[in-house]
Amino acid sequence: MRHFDHLSPDQEHQLFLHPPQPVDVDDDPALLAVALGATLYLPADRPALSSDVLRQRAAGVLSVVLCLEDAVADHAVEAAQRNLVHHLRALAASGADGPLVFVRVRRPEQVGELVASLGADAGVLTGFVLPKFTAATGEPFLRAVEDAAVAAGHQLRVMPVVESPEVAHLETRVASLEGIRALLARHRESVLAVRIGATDLSSAFGLRRRRELTVYDVRVVADVIADVVNVLGRPGDDGHVVTGPVWEYFTRPERVFKPQLRETPFRVHDERPLRTELLAEGLDGLIREVVLDQANGLTGKTVIHPSHVAVVHALSVVAHEEHADALDVLGAGGGGVAASSYGNKMNEAKPHRAWAERLSRRARVFGVARPTTSFVDLLGAVTAR
């Protein structure tokens, strides 16, 4: 798989100094987790599920989660599970180059049931998303996935979702996160990334953010995200890739605040209609939240609408200036400090090294933009298709 492989060779050459590199399901998990990008959630009861998945792959989606949990009504779970098996078999039979496919299950037993039902077609599965994950509930899910991997004959990755009240509430948060960290350490080879369930975390306080606000404006939820990154997302062998929480809006409401996109970049790059379209769809809030996700140590994002994918991926491309800084830092093996090659900041080799290594992984899977390429150019090229 390769990000932006739906662009023409001419577009790719024009936009990228270093184009995205292919990523394989057997690559280093830290690299594969970054390559998830915008992970699109689809309810498992959709009538045309397999064709929906393949259509979204053609539009640039590299990872999907087919959901049997909150996206499906309680009374419809059994029918949704049968529908899911049918369409997973159709995906396998198609032989098409699909995205990474994960299933979000409700209970541990569903993992084995799905793999047994798929039989020889279980190879279509990349892994499972584990909901309401805590140290108490997580062990049965993890064991079920590892047993299913033996039955399927290939490794199945897990992405636990941190979203329980024990994590949301201050008095139990630290102990809960420490328990999750210890549990994940015992199953390290299975864990691909940690996901954050911002909707459930907000629910613990009876809250829901407006479109004009990012999750970081909802302070009680922002505090939880900070602690999740602090405990589970540290650099090094003990940390995990932590993905950005869901953006749950996809239609235009009446605005309370001014738009959050400056007009100048769109005017300079002759993309005023693109700015108008983004504002009409209310995607300026998503753009701001993705930037804040990255600033707070999160990678990629959960999305629920195809229009969100291009925004997340365009913002994931590494800017030429950032890449130059990372190369300077990684090239200074003996430490020290120096002005950046752009002459506008200080690069310290030792304190900035973990950042540079992380940025290099993103550069490999999403590419490095040319010095003249902006986010506006990238988004314009993707949305013009």
pLDDT of the residue at 237: 80
pLDDT of the residue at 267: 60
pLDDT of the residue at 59: 86
Q: Which residues pair with 129 in a beta bridge?
A: 104, 159
Tell me: pLDDT of 255 over 60.
no
Q: How confident is the prediction for the chain on average, in pLDDT?
A: 91
**CATH number, position 259:** 3.20.20.60
Is 324 inside a domain boundary? no
Tell me: pLDDT of 257 over 60.
no
Q: Which of 283, 279, 345, 269 is nearest to 315 (CA)?
A: 283
Is 180 inside a domain boundary? yes
Average pLDDT over residues 361-368: 98
Is 17 inside a domain boundary? no
Per-residue CA distances from 112 to 86, 143, 190 (Å): 16, 10, 16
Average pLDDT over residues 38-49: 97
Q: Which domain holds residue 293?
A: 22-317
Domain count along the chain: 1
In this prediction, what percent of the chain has a pLDDT beyond 70? 91
pLDDT in tens, 134-180: 999 999 999 999 999 999 999 999 999 999 999 999 999 999 999 99
Is 339 inside a domain boundary? no
Is 366 inside a domain boundary? no
Is 323 inside a domain boundary? no
DSSP helix/strand/coil, 183: helix
Is 354 inside a domain boundary? no
Asked whether the CA dihedral 359, 360, 364, 365 is positive or negative, the reply is negative
In this prediction, what percent of the chain has a pLDDT beyond 90? 77
For residue 147, give the amino acid letter.
D
Residue 238 annotated as binding site? no
- Pick from 100-114, 276-290, 318-332: least confident: 276-290
Question: Do residues 151 and 116 lie in contact, with contact meaning Cβ atoms separated by under 8 Å?
Answer: yes
pLDDT in tens, 90-148: 999 999 989 999 999 999 999 999 999 999 999 999 999 999 999 999 999 999 999 99
Burial category of 171 from C-beta neighbours within 10 Å (exposed 0-12, middle 13-18, buried 19 and up): exposed
Bigger pLDDT: 274 vs 128: 128
Is 360 inside a domain boundary? no
d(CA 25, CA 121): 16
Tell me: pLDDT of 276 over 60.
no
Read off the pLDDT band of 269 (50, 70, 90): low
Tell me: pLDDT of 226 over 70.
yes
